[in-house]
Structure 1
């Protein structure tokens, strides 16, 4: 599966800063020192209704991670999946009486278009669940053969008790885990499971649903968590720098994925930091496909909204915060974009070197994009007032905003 084209990232004078970021597993900040190649895995979409503002906010957060690392002259090895076969996709295809493969391809193509318009840097490896199946099957077989997984009426389940570190990502109690498991694709009430929390690794073929050759597992399709594990281990290995996604993935997805990987490899941890973006609401409720209260990036673009303004609307909120999308949020972003473009369109301006360092410091400090925006606002206000005599300043600001925040002025 191919990703989307990369926009150029301007080189900036001076030195970038190492990233300090909040780690869900430890509950506090960690300073990441990845070495010459930083490794990041971000969970991708299930392509049946893309791309809403909640998606865009999540991918904006991890685009900032990449940009901070690139500013330190590191290479970034970024991997993202596409869950192109799963119950929600099949259910939507059945509801709309369309082919599930065509639905997945259409929505994935739209996602690529939106990511390109928003200047999100693409992953090096963009991998669909279906194409990953040949690598998933042997992992499930290994878990089963080692006693870390078991058969139940043809399905294969992972035993969470096989991982002594289980619970170390989310730190939830059993009752909370069970509730979230039921809400987020698990089946804690299924009779015969060793532990209600045990997640499915391989679903035996169901009538009328797609299935693939699973070798000794029989025909079927993979569970959600093992998909990401197989892709991450294949392309990044254990101990990669950041496992990212929305906060709704902390449990069960990232918790279970960590346990799968740790049992498979005997190594700990799967990732050095588990980083999660907040949820975006609309009309007082979390924006979600199940509720249908979605604002789509493609719809905004069709309405003539500049993608740079959409990006500024996302950047106005700290990535870990839960926030609400409103018309005012967008109007404020459009106005900010107009001010910034007017400021950099002048032939000279106030010196910009200190501003570049402010942006760097803000973003290296747990991706504090609102602080970075405020710094540019102050420079733009000076430009609109007294101005300045530095002929290179507007170009420096324009390149810094592009390189570090992905906003083309």
Structure 2
């Protein structure tokens, strides 16, 4: 006779294997050791509040919200955890730090380092660390160190670390993380640059860190000393807004007036397929445009009547003198699922803004679309702009981020 518990365990095992096969097929997992870790760790034990099918879906499980309903802690989507573990290249015997706890990712890391390695996970929220400790023990990963602290200072008592994986969205890389990284170590961190978040795999190169890989990624924002909020300028209630990650001067009333004016459309001739990612274009625009920001809109028909950006969450936009332009696209061949990039503009200088944005879309298509990815580096302290004329410099609190294109 099969017990209910045994049947549930068998069902969880089967769902876990299906998830791994899905991650392999999508290319999120390529390394056999990462696949083995995902096959071994029972994800449902770290998300007991949802059904088994949801625990093994390739999606985020939200576990805590703030008073406004915003997610502040979650079990990240498996595809993203897999991508970051692939970026980290963890091997047996390593000493690793995870910044931002949930338990599940730390268990995956523990599988990768094996009994000869050590994993420490840290979080600023006692509810989160209590939960992580409880679930890690239940799942058989009691050897993972769980620390309650503001991770801006790292976890010096278990340093140095061969690998640091950050599972919260951050705006800067604090000095403690550099100090606690071994000489040949690697940091994997979802860093926000001009509003865009990318998971960077960083290694030391002289006195700075350089990316050896970067992937599009989004996480709940870090809390504590490292928190750094974007500025949101609303243009039509809560339906349309511009997000700024720097200190640009903004004439809010002029932009609101511009939104009410008829829009200008300019099309680029640059086409793409329905499944082709265009995060490289977004990063190029963030690199090449000075008055760069991001346009967001609510997922309502009323908001779409006002603006129709390439992505409702965050689309590159160019600020002008009393107006703005933003990236859009439209379908040109339904059978082939082919689309064309264009720009919509509002305001007295809409023509100039749309032309400028379309020009940069064409530059990306001609010079960077099929070439090497951008080179992203992080330098301690400020850098003189005159010494880096072909590079976008992004000043941060502790560092300067540089983005250049081969």
TM bin (shorter chain):
under 0.3
TM-score, normalised by the number of residues in structure 2 = 0.28
Higher RCO by CA contacts (8 Å cutoff, separation 6 or greater) = 1
TM-score, normalised by the number of residues in structure 1 = 0.28
Name the one with the larger helix percent. Answer: 1
